[in-house]
Structure 1
Amino acid sequence: MPAKPVLIKKAPSKKAVPKKAAPAPAPETKPAPAPAPEPIPEEPVPAEATPAPAEAAPAEAAPTTDAAPPAEGEAAPAPPAEAAAAPAAEDVTAPAAPEAPADAAAAGPAAEDATAEVPAEAPAAEAPAAEAPPAEAPPAEAPPAEEPKPPTPPPPAVPTSEPLNLTLEDVNDSSITIKWRPPETIGDSGLDGYTVDYCKDQTTDWVVVNEKLTEANRMVINDLTKGDSLHIRVVAVNAGGCSPPAVLPEPVKVTEIVARPKIRMPRSLRSRIVKQTGEQINLVIPFNGKPKPLVTWTKDGEPLDTKSINVRNSDKDSILFIRTTERDHSGKYEMSVKVESFEDKASIIIQVVELPGPPHQHEACYTVQKSDRKTGEWFTALEHYHRLSATISDLIMGNSYIFRVFAENKCGRGNESAVTKAVATVQKTGIVYKPPEYQEHDFSEAPKFTAPLSDRAATVGYTTKLLCAVRGSPRPKIEWMKNQMIIGDDPKFRQISNLGVCSLEIRKPCSFDGGIYTCRARNSHGEATVACKLEVKQVILPVADKGKK
């Protein structure tokens, strides 16, 4: 449908006032109007006469999408909204384009009419709308910093356990020396040191020995009064506080100890003492100590029964005497020697046993013996045997034996025995010995020289010797020859043959003794020969030496 002609009026130029860009209204498609009579055309204004102001921004409203192209001589339609919004989208932060004057639209009256005639109910999706550039968002605020949490406090320190093994080391008229070991439980806070206190017997006034903590495990308490009896304690200290005190079990008397008590237990009494019932026990145990020690005896932790056990003490030893032992005297005897706060102990184990009766269907330790009926002598076959049956070996075939069994314990072997009623006879079995047959090795061998003769050069008047070695079985006969002539028993030559080594000694040879010497070995299996050349040289003296002679 042809577009309706419009008149374009020139509007005065106005400088646009900068204003924040606002989103352009979305263009809508104009519905097709009903046919109307054509209006009387007016003279169109040339496009050159009505230029748009340079400062003015493009029209906010775009022509409808179904508008026809302008007729010849009419002004060009306004650009689409997308193109008008493009420059603003390039720079979001730039100020918005100035708005066009209110009395003159950049797109002309046609744009105004088109905008006015568009119904509001038209769907916006029929024509794309130019989206305005989003405004710059304000910077996001940082979240508030969290307050730092206070550090977790460490667990409270725990005091240590009490010091161990507090003992008295030395004492004299004015000082006491003690020693101890570190506590078993110290803890993470460590150990700062120890404090030592003492107080007089039957009082509660504790006196601190060391003003500063000591890390040593030994302390000498000085400046004491002779004759006082003192209680002594040691406390361990760390960051958790003071430990329970370690206290000496008895008060210590400040006095000079000449010799500490010491029990000298004989070696024979250091092991278990085994006695038979009815035997006598007389044990002498020496000791040292000055002033005179206090000696006490106990049996299994209880005082001795003085009716059957006698004790006699002196300054140097103690005697334990039992006239007739009984089974009730078995036990652990402990001897204690004490001088003031110093003490030494020793223990003795006594076991009183009875001889066992003959074996009779009960478990015991046994000795089994055997006796040959030919000799009648008894020999021990098994000793310290615990089973109720046994196998006896090393018996002679054809002989008859009887056996007996003794019961034994730690005290010894019983006097009575159980003897077998039947006689055991070891039957002979037919055994014929056949010695193995061995094939004898034939060691016979023809003579063979293992070391030949070597050529020699001798000097007139100097004895020389020829050597060679030969083997053979049976032993070969040796012969020496000179120039193929047997030497024989000539006293000038000495022939020796020993263990296969053959030698010919030529005594003070002359020039005529040179030649070919041959050694020949002969037995029943053959013969062998070796030869060498002997040259005897004359010593030639210089002419000057001859004149001197």
Structure 2
Amino acid sequence: RHSSYRHRCLLLHSVNKIRHEEGLRGLRHHKSLIPTDITKNSVSLAWTKPKHDGGSRLTGYVLEAQKRGTDQWAHVTSLKNMDFTVKNLNENEEYTFRVMAVNHSGRSAPRESKPIIVKDSTSLPEFDLRGVCQSTVIAKAGDNIRVEIPVMGRPRPAVTWQKDGNSLRLDLRNTETHALVDVTKLDSGHYELVLKNPGGTKIFPITVKVLDKPGKPTGPLKVTGIMADRCTLAWSEPSLDGGANITRYILEKRETSSLSWTVAAMLQTSPAS
């Protein structure tokens, strides 16, 4: 007897995701000690965690200051955070600061700042893009994304997230040295991270590419060359590819008297040129 079948086509795509002395030597100093804000009587400083802790957990940091014209370093504070505002400084005086990491073996070698003149100042907002590999963010549909970019400027710039010139709601957290943007369920498109302070405006363009399941193949599903044990099926690619190249189609079949579908074939597509 002849069995009649119903056929359907599915498609998939890929989504491309020591002893004491040894302890002291191993405790590396910080990459940078930078001023994040300067006023006529204060300097705000920030630094990064050492890459190596010398084999012992870090217990904190020691910050010291040196006024121009003296060889003496004055203790400012001991703290656990990686930022601090030094207050009650003399206007128009020049200071140099240094920070040391501390563990149970002692202190690291110091990292010094450049000499800083204490006065009100304004500098253009800037993005430090040396550690930013690319300006394209890829995420799966429904996922949150995080954009983390070092920012600079005095006073500290205000940060907004825009698309087509309109500000968007976001979870924005500013540290002393970074803008951290957490965004939920974005559409694909071109966005802008905008910095503003009295010195001016700086814009960093970011392209967001959201990957989703592809749409269904474009029909109708054409059946030709019908024979006792075979037939030929043809369809067109979907209008929506989900943001990635279609990699294969899954062909399923079922008898008209059954509700169960079985895989008849898995068809690899040709690589996109």
Q: TM-score range by the shorter chain?
A: 0.3 to 0.5
Structure ranking higher in strand proportion: 2
Pick the structure with greater CA Rg: 1
Q: TM-score, normalised by structure 2?
A: 0.37
Greater share of residues in helix: 1
TM-score by length of 1: 0.19
